[in-house]
Structure 1
Amino acid sequence: MSERFRQAGVEDAERLHEVIHEAYSLIRKLELKWPAANADVSQIRDNIVNNECYVLEADDRIVATITLSKGDEVKAVTEFPFIKWFAVHPGEQGKGYGDKLLNWVETAIIRDKVGAAAVTLGTAEKHPWLLPMYKRRGYETIRAFDPGNGDGTMHLLRKVVDAAAYALSREAAGEVSAS
């Protein structure tokens, strides 16, 4: 089986719509107001054009996707990059594809390409397994808030991907390290 990581192009919009729509069915059942949950092909195309959308292909078929946002969703809270629209097609779940894609984006894109010391993402407390999953992966809540839209408590999470650079950035920001 061959696997390949790459940046998505607009020609991938139809398959990405299928992956995201199927993967986000629980999000719709939970009635969370996440833009990706109800995105149509045009919105998927806009996401590809306006952000950096990455995919994992297995045997030349997209099985997972994640987006590095180019927007300002969290700029008021943190300077670190924000990832969103993470999805693994339900027929491909349990095969490690989500883990592989997230690891690759955290290291090859966030740490090595962007040069950031940490990455952020958001999730809902009421989702039954996302928050615990991200915490097991080393993410920590840096802000919990209720957006007042019915989603309940949302968590902005951060994961350090380059410990030395993170320590230097905190030092430069005037934060005292606990050593």
Structure 2
Amino acid sequence: MTEQYRLATLEDAEPLLAVTVDAYETIRALNIPFPAGHATLEVIQNNIVQHECYILEKGGEIIATVTLDRAEDLQRQAISPYPFIRWFAVSPAHKSQGYGSKLLDWVEQHIILHKLDAPAVFLATATRHPWLAPMYERRGYEPFHIKTVQTPERQEEIVFMVKTLDPSRYKTPSVQTG
């Protein structure tokens, strides 16, 4: 079966919702307040329209997804000038088969490095999640900033991580505080 990498369309919203809800079960179980963990069909549709939501499809089935934030988010720009990826999810039926790595590799190389001409990419995750930060570190992401955010239930510590894609043009993010 052929693997296909592409932007999601609104017709993909329902299967994307299923993949996202299933993949974010751990996030919900840990009570980490990430929006993707509590996504609805409307939230998925908005994500597709407002950002670049990429999917890896095999045999017509969505296997993995990741979103490249294209919003002009001034708060994120204060943390890093590089593209921000979020909402990474792999269908639980296809975990540990390399599909998530393939999709991230494709987005990092074809979209972020070549299409956007950005020398790096960054993301954020909760520090208390037991395996996400170490997984990203194995992929070459390095922590560069920790921020504490207040949620209704608790203070949540978020780690921002950056991956250099072109070392000759990369400049370390200087986080603005205040």
Q: Distance in 1 between matches of 2:2 and 2:139?
A: 25
Cα distance in 2 for partners of 1:137, 1:53 equals 20
1:163 aligned counterpart, secondary structure: coil
Residue 168 of structure 2 aligns with which residue?
164
Counterpart in the other structure of 2:132: 130
| Structure number having the greater strand percentage | 2
Once residues 79 and 94 of structure 2 are traced to their aligned partners in structure 1, the CA distance between those partners, rounded to angstroms, is 34
- For residue 69 of structure 1, what is the aligned residue in structure 2? 69
Relative to structure 1, is the Cα distance of residues 162 and 103 closer, same or farther in structure 2, using a 3 angstrom cutoff? same
User: Which residue is equivalent to 1:93?
Assistant: 95
Identity of aligned residues (%): 44
Unaligned runs of 5+ in 2: none
Distance 2:10 2:49 in 1: 7
**TM-score, with length taken from structure 1:** 0.91
Which residue is equivalent to 2:143? 141
Aligned match of 2:159 = 155
The TM-score with structure 2 as length reference comes to: 0.91
Distance across 2 between alignment mates of 1:51 and 1:66:
10
**Are the counterparts in 2 of residues 63 and 97 from structure 1 also a CA contact under 8 Å?**
yes
| Structure 1 gap ranges (5+) | 174-179
- The number of residues matched between the two structures is 169
| Runs of 4+, deviation exceeding 2 Å | none
Q: Aligned AA for 1:115? A: D
CA distance in 2, matches of 1:36, 1:151: 19
- Shifted more, 23-32 versus 70-79: the winner is 70-79
- What SS does the corresponding residue of 1:53 show, helix, strand or coil? strand
Give distance in 2, aligned partners of 1:50 and 1:152. Answer: 26
CA RMSD of aligned residues (A): 1.3
Task: Report the more deviating stretch, 24-33 or 141-150.
Answer: 141-150
Identify the residue that residue 103 of structure 1 maps to in structure 2. 105
